[in-house]
Structure 1
């Protein structure tokens, strides 16, 4: 066999892309289970995050959820590996307080149609703008991150009349979990750390115009005639503090300068003369700013805490900031933190402005909406109600998946039989089957790379794309084999002619898919995206490689000289 064909750049490109796709899919898979959610009273709370994988615990390999059953009544030091990192946690009372989902065997993410779960459609209780819908989405995502939930997809959608909805999908979840998500509103706190350095075993904590002596004792700290241990809380100047940590060199105190009820309002939409909320383009990217309104009491706390802080210059921006940042928490979970401009030190501002930015407009907008949601204690900007809920059991999802695999295999065999009956040549049939499998792998590789979730609609799109590919392959073969009857075109011209038809057909299909990207529910969007990915892969990678192989396979046969007619003389008897 001539190996020159494997040096063709089209073949090499396809092989290279196949290798990347297989790496992205990771078909060998992972062992372990994935954390779905964590109870706030769990000993693992703060140690692990939703979405992390646990594959080892107390000298035992974890490969399925039932492997954790023997640890439900465990107490003592618990050793475990999460995301390939060893960690320890002390379990004082029985109960892990963690819910898991089993890790799929590869990087392919399966939708709730295939693994079970709940899909709900939320309708706003009043007319809303695109901005309000986006704010609601960000608020829900903040709650998901705060309350320890994984495998949740939230997306705004529109119907054909332009009416807006929000769709929530929770793989392996229930309607009750989604209702709980909608009803929760977090406890918000803004905290600023204060560092006291010790000299000869003592230091000074400055709050406003007051100074308090801090004395180090081996296991405690003496402050204002109080002896404090690690994580102990206390009050000074009517401000809540916690002793975060201390050594012989210094101590770190955490002050709570405001809570949710201290923020009377957050400006969501720009209203000149009333409040500011903007997103503007600058030379370095996009910058946002919005105003918040604080009570006089919380503004005075902020002024007292920051009055004696030193300022530092940010080497990147050249701006001056205080030595400590302000950390924003929801239900004791740190969500984000902000720098404090140096000129705000000691000022009791009741209408401060929050600023930030990013190079990309979308990132800046999402960060702005996230901060606004946090400062409103995670409250939704508009009321929503559930107008539809679909529950799919895991067993039904598995049945769907098994049926899909069986149907696909039967369809592939049926296509193979029809192709063989048409051409009666294995050298045509085998490359066609190989290319169909290659297109499947490439499409799944792209889906894994972009973390696209495969549901039933996406699989239908995948089958449609592969079917289109088979049709194009037949067209290429027919155009090449036409040379047996018509000699007016060269082999290259025949292939070029077939690709003109293929590109036109691909453009038509993609154009038909475009409306589904913007109109309709997420299921139809999944069908459109998968179909489009499959067709683009076929047109730009696999079709050209297939044509090259077919040119090589059929060239010798097409170039055979016609068999001469023998001149025979009939001799009469």
Structure 2
């Protein structure tokens, strides 16, 4: 029993790979994930679990840069990042500190302004006036801002229930960064509107009354925040928080958001409700209709997504009227992931920098009908390629024992690639289909090399002779595979759009061929051609 398995383990491995690809392609648990608000039947795009990109499913692609300017190689002069932001913002008329950011990573220090009304000359003058030395000023924003924008746009797409949408950062050959947003099945106007709309995010106060829970709405709105920090973990505990700063300035005759919020907190009795014994745990989530003490509610588009209590010291300082001088406080949660969600929710709808869709940006739309046509054309092209290869192989060898295993092995290689695409939910584009066709061509080339080498010197009269000839052929195809991988690697790692998909699947096909299908084909030939 063990001896046949040991002799034919390469063929068995190929069978296992094909079976695994079948499971990935057809098993329901590997199907497309249902987006929030989407019916499960809508997520499944056909009888297989394959997902299709814009080229084959139709939809909209938007490629646009984030507007802003960044000063690189900045010397902070010993100042903290928040101090640098305040000083630079003070030199820019009409610019909030929220529109000035810093980026620190090891020795690299950068300062950015994300207000699109600020020109490079104005930003340069502000940097000079604030006294911070810098190396140069370039168009665009920092890596941290791009990452944040990617996270926010992804959140928008998910919240809108747009299945298959994707967001990534791409870099042009000139070094500029762009946000690439792809949303299958949606037209341009809907996608652009989604990217540009500003969601309603606010903080309410829920407080107990004789008739149950009452809500004081919009004690803080998104415009009231001077600055919104990133989520952080509190040292020594499992809790996390999001630092925020509320504006404490307002036009003459008006009350600032910080003073207004402070008054609302004092009026609702936070200081007496949250003491050292009670701490800052809110019971709104347990029974929203009958709370025992006031709570802060974070709402997004009218829906409560988080509720908070208040630190006793903070509540006391608001009760005394001292807190509004700074406007700083922290939204505390029990989990870091929840704090991250809060930070994103507060920023959602308001990207950290404006997307230049109408300027340097580009957008394109492929109709569903056009995508279906592309899908059909791709299928026809693939079938024609297979028949063409099969015809040439039969003309070359005129021996089914050699040609049939060659065609079957090549098809198994493509089938395994499709299974991988379904397993990782990689959207199929025209470039990926081109990669599949390239894999068929290079794969059959390698199999022809094996067959020619094995049969070049006449009858294979022993397994030893076969193994010797097969090893010579395998060295040739191994060197060719290495060359292909090296040539394709730059296309895979560089942000070159659809070419990345082409390179990824070409390289993956080469690896599957060298490690699985070529050795399996060799075992098949050995069994069919070896005399003894």
- In structure 1, the residue matched to 2:95 is none
Please state if 1:473 is matched with 2:447.
yes
Please state if 1:534 is matched with 2:509.
yes
- In structure 2, the residue matched to 1:157 is 170
Asked if the contact 1:312–1:322 (Cα under 8 Å) also holds between the matched residues in 2, the reply is no
- Residue number among 385, 388, 411 corresponding to 1:411 in the alignment: 385
Q: How far apart are residue 415 of structure 1 and its match?
A: 1.0
Provide Cα deviations, 1:133-190, integer angstroms capped at 9, x if missing partner: 2211112122223334333221110111221011111212111012211221111134
Asked if the contact 1:5–1:552 (Cα under 8 Å) also holds between the matched residues in 2, the reply is no
- Residue number among 516, 522, 528 corresponding to 1:547 in the alignment: 522
Question: Higher relative CO (CA 8 A, sep ≥ 6), structure 1 or 2?
Answer: 2
- Distance in 1 (alpha carbons) for counterparts of 2:489 and 2:235: 32
Asked if the contact 2:231–2:339 (Cα under 8 Å) also holds between the matched residues in 1, the reply is no
SS class of match (1:474): helix
Alignment of 1:452-531 (within 5 A): 452-484=426-458, 490-531=465-506
- In structure 1, the residue matched to 2:57 is 115
SS class of match (1:484): coil
- In structure 1, the residue matched to 2:40 is 53
Asked if the contact 2:188–2:365 (Cα under 8 Å) also holds between the matched residues in 1, the reply is yes
Q: Residues 148 and 420 of structure 1: is their aligned pair in 2 closer, same or farther, counting only changes over 3 Å?
A: closer
Q: Residues 7 and 357 of structure 1: is their aligned pair in 2 closer, same or farther, counting only changes over 3 Å?
A: farther
Q: Residues 485 and 151 of structure 1: is their aligned pair in 2 closer, same or farther, counting only changes over 3 Å?
A: closer
- In structure 2, the residue matched to 1:434 is 408
- Distance in 2 (alpha carbons) for counterparts of 1:305 and 1:472: 78
Asked if the contact 2:234–2:241 (Cα under 8 Å) also holds between the matched residues in 1, the reply is no
Q: How far apart are residue 356 of structure 1 and its match?
A: 8.1
TM-score normalised per structure 1: 0.64
- Distance in 1 (alpha carbons) for counterparts of 2:474 and 2:269: 71
Asked if the contact 2:461–2:530 (Cα under 8 Å) also holds between the matched residues in 1, the reply is no
- Residue number among 145, 148, 166 corresponding to 2:179 in the alignment: 166
SS class of match (2:521): helix
Per residue, is there more helix in 1 or in 2? 2
SS class of match (1:109): coil
TM-score normalised per structure 2: 0.68
- Distance in 2 (alpha carbons) for counterparts of 1:357 and 1:132: 26
Q: Which moved more, 1:425-434 or 1:301-310?
A: 301-310
Alignment of 1:90-489 (within 5 A): 103-126=45-68, 127-190=140-203, 205=208, 212-213=209-210, 222-223=211-212, 234-235=214-215, 239-240=216-217, 258-267=220-229, 291-294=243-246, 295-298=258-261, 301=264, 304=268, 307=271, 308=273, 328-333=298-303, 337=306, 346=315, 348=318, 350-353=327-330, 371-386=342-357, 387-484=361-458
SS class of match (2:65): strand
Asked if the contact 1:278–1:289 (Cα under 8 Å) also holds between the matched residues in 2, the reply is yes
SS class of match (1:157): strand
SS class of match (2:168): strand
SS class of match (1:477): helix
Q: How far apart are residue 439 of structure 1 and its match?
A: 1.1
Asked if the contact 1:312–1:321 (Cα under 8 Å) also holds between the matched residues in 2, the reply is no
Q: How far apart are residue 480 of structure 1 and its match?
A: 1.9
Q: Residues 508 and 332 of structure 1: is their aligned pair in 2 closer, same or farther, counting only changes over 3 Å?
A: farther
Q: How far apart are residue 26 of structure 1 and its match?
A: 0.8
Provide Cα deviations, 1:232-284, integer angstroms capped at 9, x if missing partner: x845xxx34xxxxxxxxxxxxxxx764324423214xxxxxxxxx58799999
Asked if the contact 1:189–1:328 (Cα under 8 Å) also holds between the matched residues in 2, the reply is yes
SS class of match (1:453): coil
- Distance in 2 (alpha carbons) for counterparts of 1:357 and 1:462: 48
- Distance in 2 (alpha carbons) for counterparts of 1:530 and 1:139: 29
Provide Cα deviations, 1:111-140, integer angstroms capped at 9, x if missing partner: 111122221211223321222222111121
RMSD over aligned Cα atoms: 4.1
Q: Which moved more, 1:177-186 or 1:497-506?
A: 497-506
Q: Which runs of 5+ in 2 are unaligned?
A: 69-139, 247-257, 286-295
Q: Which runs of 5+ in 1 are unaligned?
A: 37-48, 55-99, 195-204, 206-211, 214-221, 224-232, 241-255, 268-276, 314-318, 560-573
SS class of match (1:293): strand
Alignment of 1:29-40 (within 5 A): none
- Distance in 2 (alpha carbons) for counterparts of 1:301 and 1:492: 85
SS class of match (2:226): strand
Per residue, is there more strand in 1 or in 2? 1
- Distance in 2 (alpha carbons) for counterparts of 1:102 and 1:554: 45
Q: How far apart are residue 380 of structure 1 and its match?
A: 1.0
- Distance in 1 (alpha carbons) for counterparts of 2:6 and 2:400: 20
- In structure 2, the residue matched to 1:197 is none
SS class of match (1:149): coil
Specify the structure having the higher radius of gyration (Cα). 1
